[in-house]
Amino acid sequence: MGGPVRSALRVGIVGAGNISGQYSASLARLPQLQVTAVCDLDTERATALASAHDARVLALPELLESDVDVVLVLTLPASHADVGHAAIAAGKHVYVEKPLATSVAQGRELVKAAAEAGVRLGCAPDTVLGTGVQTARAAVDAGRIGRPHAATAFMTTPGHERWHPNPDFYYQPGGGPLLDMGPYYLTSLVHLLGPVVSVTGASSRPQATRTIGSGPRAGETFDVDTDSTVVGILQHASGALSTLVMTFDVWAARLPRIEVHGTEGSLSVPDPNMFDGAVELFPAGGTEWADLGATAGYLDAGRGYGVADLALAVADGRAHRAGDEIALHVLEVMEAVAQAAESRSWIDLTTTCERPEPVPGVVDLTA
């Protein structure tokens, strides 16, 4: 059930690149949201996205002066903070594709600006609101594995240059596997185990160059200017320890995505880059893994459901689940792991967050 119908928030999308198609598909079916304006430096891309929603194509100043309620920032990460500040200054709610910003200092300023302006600031990933991570969280919260004490999180791929037509930014400062994919895994770990208090790490850069594998630039070689394998150990406030491996240097692996281990069992969590998937439990003394089925989370969710959750939160006067507090904390975890790898030390975090409220049961936001 999706609850009573409310007035839709008007959405202005800034950035019509690759990820916008996934957002567009979700936004089109969510009654909580209505796309009314689109902005992109490429007018052709902006027009194509706007036509899918009967929306206007506007320059950024015009979009910010329009009647949009929330600005959805889908630009490259380097522009997240600048566009976010402009939208906040215009009195708009803001939802940013991950990461929140390219540095903790930038993230703090963005969070501060939103609080002072009295507007909402949300941030991807919202994959954690789907039935995969939410079902796993419900199992942890119900004590199905006893006291959680450890977790592993593995993201292994040979690199995005095989499929992305313009992959250069993934291998520049502000990119890399940790900032690109880390938010999915770390946000899931915080939902499951709570905030992190200290980290250590190591990293490497096995290849000096990469070759683009598809699109008009196929065969072109570019330099790798950031580490492409990052390993971290996280100590959670609860005492649990998580091991994190993020890499663009592995051709194939049989590693799990996320596993959580407790005193009374183990839990297998599906790909946190997706919204659903099988959650499996292996109880203490058991003989096999058991699929728990979907017991919590937004049903058949996709990118953009975090914006719908923000819209419902505004109407209900509650905190939105894909919020800036957890996004800033995850950003600091990533920055601290990278710093620890460079300094070969443990680093204590300065931010923390509450675990966002769980999605109560299986909820269909399109109903």
Q: Are 232 and 151 in contact (CB under 8 A)?
A: no
Domains of the chain, first to last: 9-123 (3.40.50.720), 128-295+328-348 (3.30.360.10)
Residue 4 binned pLDDT confidence (cut-offs 50, 70, 90): very low
* Residue 3 pLDDT: 41
* 167-192: average pLDDT: 94
* Residue 173 pLDDT: 86
* 297-314: average pLDDT: 98
* Residue 347 pLDDT: 98
What proportion of the chain, given as a percentage, has pLDDT over 90? 95
* Residue 174 pLDDT: 79
* 109-136: average pLDDT: 98
* Residue 175 pLDDT: 85
* 242-268: average pLDDT: 97
What pTM was computed for the model?
Answer: 0.94
Average pLDDT, the chain: 96
Is the link from the previous residue into 270 a cis peptide, with omega within 30 of 0? no
Selection from 322, 266, 344, 278 nearest residue 95 by Cα: 322
**How many other β-carbons are positioned within 10 Å of the β-carbon of residue 159?**
22
Q: What is the maximal distance between C-alpha atoms in the chain? A: 63
Q: How many Å apart are CA 302 and CA 250, to the nearest integer?
A: 27
Sequence-distant (≥ 6) Cβ neighbours of residue 205 within 8 angstroms: 224, 226, 227, 228, 229
pLDDT digits (tens, 9 = 90+) for 21-47: 999 999 999 999 999 999 999 999 999
**How many other β-carbons are positioned within 10 Å of the β-carbon of residue 317?**
6
